[in-house]
Amino acid sequence: MTVTDRPAQAPTRRLNTSKAMVEAIAAEMEANPEVFYLGEDVGAYGGIFSSTTGLLDRFGPQRVLDTPISETGFIGLAIGAATEGMRPIVELMFADFMGVCLDQIYNHMAKIHFESGGNVKVPMVLTTAVGGGYSDGAQHSQCLWGTFAHLPGMKVVAPATPADAKGLMTAAIRDDSPVVYMFHKGVMGLPWMVKNPRSIDVVPAGEHVVEIGKARVAREGSDVTIVTISLSVHHALDVAEQLSNEGISAEVIDLRSLVPLDRDAICASVAKTGRLVVVDEDYLSFGMSAEVVASVTDRDPSLFKAPPVRVAVPDIPIPYARPLEYAALPRQDRIEEAVRKALR
Partner 1 sequence: MTTDLSARASSTELTGDLRKALFTTMIRSRTFEEAILREYHADKAPGFDIGKGLIPGEMHLSAGQEPVAAGVCEHLTAADAVTSTHRPHHFAIAHGVDLKPMAAEIFGRVDGLGRGRGGHMHLFDPSTHFSCSGIVAEGYPAALGMAFAFSRRGTDAIAVAVTGEGAANAGAFHESLNLAALWKLPVVFVIEDNEWGISVSREASTPIPSNADRAAAYGIPGTRVEENDVEAVYAAAGEAVARARGGGGPTLIEVHTLRLWGHFEGDAQGYRPDLDQVPDRDPIPRYEATLRDAGVLDDAVGEQIRSAASIEVEGAIAFAKASAEPDPATVLDYVFV
Ligand X SMILES: Cc1ncc(C[n+]2csc(CCOP(=O)(O)OP(=O)(O)O)c2C)c(N)n1
Active-site residue, 234 included = no
Report in angstroms how near the CB of residue 151 gets to its own copies at its nearest. Answer: 7
Sorted by sequence, the CB contacts under 8 Å of residue 322 that are 6+ apart come out as 135
Q: 68 is in the binding site of which of its own copies, partner 1, ligand X, none (Cβ under 5 to 8 A by kind)?
A: partner 1
Residue with the shortest CB distance to ligand X: 97
Segment 95 to 124, residues that bind ligand X, using CB under 6 A: 97, 100
Q: Which of residues 244-263 bind its own copies (CB under 8 A)?
A: 258-259, 261
Q: How many whole angstroms separate alpha carbon 27 and alpha carbon 85?
A: 19
User: In what helix (H) or strand (E) does residue 281 lie, and over which residues does it extend?
Assistant: strand 276-283
Asked about 211 being catalytic, the answer comes back as no
**Using CB under 8 A as the criterion, what x/- string covers residues 69-108 for binding partner 1?**
xxxxxxxxxxxxxxxxxx-x-------xx-xx--xx--xx
Task: Tell the burial category of 257 from Cβ atoms under 10 Å away from its Cβ (0-12, 13-18, 19+).
Answer: buried
Whole-number Å distance between alpha carbons of 261 and 333:
27
SS3 of residue 94 by DSSP: strand
What is the identity of the amino acid at 313?
A: V
Q: Does 320 bind partner 1 (CB under 8 A)?
A: yes
Q: How many angstroms separate the CA atoms of 303 and 307, rounded?
A: 10
Binding test (CB under 8 A) with its own copies, winner from 62, 119, 245, 302: 302
Q: 68-106 b/e with 16+ CB inside 10 Å = b?
A: eeebeebbbbbbebbbeebbbbbbbbbbbbbeebbebbb
Of residues 219 and 334, the one with the C-beta less far from partner 1: 334
Q: Which is nearer to ligand X, 50 or 273 (CB)?
A: 50
**Which one of 108, 113, 140, 208 is the catalytic residue?**
140
Part of the chain binding ligand X (CB under 6 A), chosen from 31-39, 50-58, 93-101, 160-168: 93-101
Residue type, 23: E
Pairing of strands 155-157, 257-259: antiparallel
80 binds its own copies (CB under 8 A): no
**What does 289 bind: ligand X, its own copies, partner 1, none (CB cut-off 5 to 8 Å by kind)?**
its own copies
Residue ranges that bind its own copies, judged by CB under 8 A: 72, 96-107, 110-111, 114-115, 137-139, 146-147, 149-153, 258-259, 261, 282-283, 285-291, 293-294, 297-302, 304, 306-308, 310, 315-317, 319-320
Q: Which residues bind ligand X (CB under 6 A)?
A: 40, 69, 71, 93, 97, 100
